[in-house]
Structure formats: structure tokens, C-alpha cells
Amino acid sequence: MVADDGYPGTVVLLRTRGCTVTREGDGVRLRVAAGEPWDEVVARCVAEGWSGIECLSGIPGSAGATPIQNVGAYGQEIAETIEAVRVYDRERDADTVLAPADCGFGYRTSRFKHADRWIVLEVVLRLAVSDRSAPIRYPELARALGVAVGDRVPLDETRAAVLKLRAGKGMVLDPDDPDTFSVGSFFTNPVLPAAGFGHLRAAGAPAWPNPDGTVKTSAAWLIERAGFAKGYGRDGVAISTKHTLALTNRGTGTTAALLDLAREIRAGVAQRFGVTLVPEPVLVNCAL
């Protein structure tokens, strides 16, 4: 997300294209140039019968952006299938290849996200050869597919269900729908120490325990119960009418107005629940 004044520097947009496939046993290794449109990569994998990223259908942007954000949706994260990331190291003036353990992957983050040292040039994925999805982990997606959590379903059915769910939340770009004019989910779901989650549990907040003992809860639930309904906004910006986590430009909005709305929401949630929401997008030449 960029300030209304723009960025006082040079912006490089990678347009590199290309995808190299190597079959290895029961899997394939996919080398994807950073400039490849991400959803085209997913669509090809589904069509070819390569399983592992089907739940990441419909996510906009380029393949090179996926490790930066460690993009995830409907129970999958790109870090689960990344075998390597080739980057240009600006400090060393050299190309280098980083293994997943060197990428600092976490929930919607990586070592690349808030640093300008590395430029992602290529992403190497390891996928299974199968016409069935990876086990469905996300209850909402399982319900949409009419299966149980843990089941595997045809890849094309998974992709279709994900795209339908995303469209219903305004997460597939439609020039006639201002609910789609956003950077996606503006806040990440808070991850809290188990000891600090008790008051939220008592209030009925959703809880997803993590192996390390922390608990992830729903930012949308917190926002709504802090008094911010879908459609709430002013000055040309508003919460999406379809998805509480999306802050949208209704056609005349500015970055400054959207950040003011985000600050109001963050302050309201902190006052009501004692939880400080964290923005998911990188803020360029501006701050929350």
C-alpha cells in the first residue's frame, strides 16, 4: 500500500516469465520466474494434476511475491511447497539460492517482507503428482465442497470452490464492484499467548491453537464486536460489505483516508479487547 505522495525512489517491476518443470519420482519440481502471474501458475498446476497449491487460487499478483508474504488461504501456505527461493542480494551484489529454513517463513511474513536487501527472482516449488487436492484443512472450504476436514477432492473442484468463496468475499477483482478495490485482508489474525486468551475465550472468540502453545483468533470477529460493521466508512473508503477484513476504496478514497479508518478500527479493537491489530500489507512511505 503506497502513500498518496508516492514513493521517493526507483521502483522496479519484474516482468520475467517462464516455468520449468522437472518430474522426480512421485512429484514435480517447478521453477517459476518471479514475474509469472500467480493465478496462472495455480491454474496450470490444477490442469496438469500437480497438487499442493490449489487452495491458493485467485490470489492476485506475481509468483515472486508469494514467498515475501508467505501467502496463504483456505488452509495452505506457499511455504509448505517451496523448495528454494532464488534472490538477488543487493548487499553482496550477487544471486543466491535460499532454502526454506533461511527464508524466515511465518504467518503471513518472511525475512523478505520488511527488508529491501533481497529481490526475489525465482521460486522453486515441489508438488505432488495427483489429481486430488492436499487434505482439506479449512472448515469453510470443506463445507463448500461437502466433505469432511481431512478429505481429498479433485483439484478442479477445489479450485472452483476456492474461487467461488473468494468472489463471495470480494476477493476476486471485478471492475464493477468496489468491494474488490482493496489490498485483501488489511489486518492479520492475532496470534496470542494462551495465558492472554482467556478473556477472549470467555467472550466467545474463535480459537485455533498452534503447536507452540499460542492461539490464533479472528480479527474479523474482533472488529465486528468492537462495533465496526461491514460497510462502515467515510471519505470514500469503507469496510467491504462482503468481508470485514477488507478496507476498500469506494472510488474517491485516498491512502490517507484509508489509514485513518484503519487507525479507528485498530483503536476500537484495542479499547474493547486489549488486542492491537497488525496490518498485513507492507506500507510504503506511510505508516499506521
**Active-site hit among 29, 31, 44, 108:** 108
The three cell numbers of residue 23 are: 518430474
Contact 239, 230 (CB under 8 A): yes
Please identify which of the residues 51, 185, 218, 240 carries the catalytic annotation.
Answer: 185
Distance, C-alpha 207 to centroid of its chain? 19
Distance of CA 63 to the CA centre of its chain: 12
Can you tell me the distance from the alpha carbon of 37 to that of 239, in angstroms, rounded to the nearest whole number?
27
Nearest to 181 by CA among 107, 108, 109, 255: 255
Of 36, 54, 77, 280, catalytic? 280
Q: Nearest Cα to 205, choosing from 154, 148, 273, 266?
A: 273
The reply to whether 185 belongs to the active site is yes
The CA-atom distances, in angstroms, between 40 and each of 12, 17, 47, 65, 82 are 22, 11, 10, 14, 17
Question: What cell was used for 237?
Answer: 473508503
* Active site members: 108, 185, 280
